[in-house]
Amino acid sequence: MTLAPARSSVLPDRITTPTLRTFLRGVPSVDEVGASERVAALSTRSIKKESKRAALDLMIRMMDLTTLEGKDTPGKVVQMCAKAYRPDPTDASIPSVAAVCVYPNMVPYAVQATEGTGIYVASVATYFPSGLSDTKLKIEETKKVVADGADEVDMVIDRGAFLAGEYFKVFDEIRRTKEACGDAHLKVILETGELETLDNVRRASMLAMAAGGDFIKTSTGKVSPAATLPVTLVMLEAIRDFHDATGVQVGMKPAGGIRTSKDAMKYLLVLNETLGEAWMTPDWFRFGASSLLNDVLMQIRFQETGRYSSPDYFTKD
């Protein structure tokens, strides 16, 4: 897939660091206090009964169930894929998650374990999590995970280059990674915990979308803070502006640090009231999480029985 022609409307024909700088300086600034107040206000929404159940179900269907540890093994990945397919073995009404997310080495095992389930396999790539390597090697890694069967690629941007103002380097890496993805779906990790300011988050979001990212994603999960509500709000607002300017819909993935369904509910509220219904689907929103799933299952069990079950009733894979 090449750059969609519709996107040329936000960028000049000949893209260089100066033209990108001009483009990014046109991105509206962000007031940190205001952004925090907005998400705090949305967090006071009270979601009950059937609207809560619908949200809990959607959280599972939006989940990229993740394991990204140095100690990952094929056995661990295969077990996680089983969990991804049948999150609660005692309740067939519980949907499968959207995708599993693994390191490049684990892609073949994940592909095999999810065959025929409809669950996508996402792989991190581009020398995750730091991204500090040669562009050529990053592209090679991307091609490899796609060849191994990954449906989705989660790349990291070069934060150092972004902070140094080398916008073309960042842009070009995303664009070339997107080309290397072929038909696979590209999520661009901004690692917002290292960009630090919401102004940077908003500009990096625009850069990633203009360069061809299908999704923009907050974090690797390896840097603190990972996903936060204000950062997510600002990225969603950037997605809205990009959609207004180009007609191109881009997805969003907050990742890292979202451990409870109460937290996830706040993200859904921010999503629903910022981008609206069109994004309320796993096609356009994902949660990157490892421990969230069991908490959601516990909440669903509570909704159905009126009682909280012990964590021992939920599988740990």
Partner 1 sequence: MAITRIPDTSHEPLLWEYAASRESADIVSLDEKYGLFIDGELRAPKSRKYFPTINPASEEELAQVAEAGKADVDDAVASARTAYEDVWGPMAPAERAKYIFRIARMIQERSRELAVLETLDGGKPIKESRDVDLPLVAGHFFYYAGWADKLEYAFPGITPKPLGVAGQVIPWNFPMLMLAWKVAPALAAGNTVVLKPAETTPLTALVFAELTAEAGLPPGVLNVVTGAGGTGSLVVTHDDVDKVAFTGSTAVGKLIQSELAGTSKRLTLELGGKGAHVIFEDAPLDQAVEGVINGIFFNQGHVCCAGSRLFVEESIHDRFVDKLKRRLNTLRVGDPMDKNTDIGAINSRAQLEKIEELVDSGRSEGAEIFQPDCELPTSGFFFRPTLFTGVSQSHRIAQEEIFGPVLSILSFRTPEEAVEKANNTPYGLSAGIWTTKGSRILWMADRMKAGVVWANTFNKFDPSSPFGGYKESGFGREGGRHGLLAYMDLGET
Q: Is 169 or 274 the residue whose CB approaches partner 1 more closely?
A: 274
Asked if 49 interacts with partner 1 (CB under 8 A), we say yes
Nearer to partner 1, 58 or 258 (CB): 58
Q: Determine, following the binding rule CB under 8 A, whether residue 90 of this chain makes contact with partner 1.
A: no
User: Is residue 61 part of the contact set for partner 1 (CB under 8 A)?
Assistant: yes
Q: Does 93 bind partner 1 (CB under 8 A)?
A: no
For partner 1, give the closer residue by CB, 50 or 134: 50
Decide the pairing of beta strands 185-189 and 63-66: unpaired
- Is 262 catalytic? The answer is no
Structure tokens at 30: 């962000």
State the Cα–Cα distance between residues 156 and 212, nearest whole angstrom: 14
Alpha carbon separation from 251 to 2, 240, 286, 302 (Å, rounded) = 18, 10, 8, 31
The smaller minimum CB distance to partner 1, of residues 55 and 296, is found at: 55
DSSP H or E run through 108: helix 107-113
* DSSP SS3 for 159: helix
Could you tell me how far CA 239 lies from the centroid of its own chain? 13
User: Using CB under 8 A, which of the segments 40-48, 84-92, 137-145, 218-226 binds partner 1?
Assistant: 40-48
Determine the Cα–Cα distance for residues 67 and 55; give it in Å rounded to an integer. 24
Task: Count Cβ atoms within 10 A of the Cβ of residue 134 and give its class: 0-12 exposed, 13-18 middle, 19 or more buried.
Answer: exposed
Instruction: Exactly one of 88, 151, 154, 263 is catalytic; name it.
Output: 154
**Does residue 220 bind partner 1 (CB under 8 A)?**
no
| Residues belonging to the active site | 154, 217, 253
Residues that bind partner 1 (CB under 8 A): 1, 28-31, 33-35, 37-38, 44-52, 54-55, 58, 61, 111, 114-115, 117-121, 149, 151, 183-185, 214, 234, 237, 244, 249, 251, 268, 272-273, 276-284
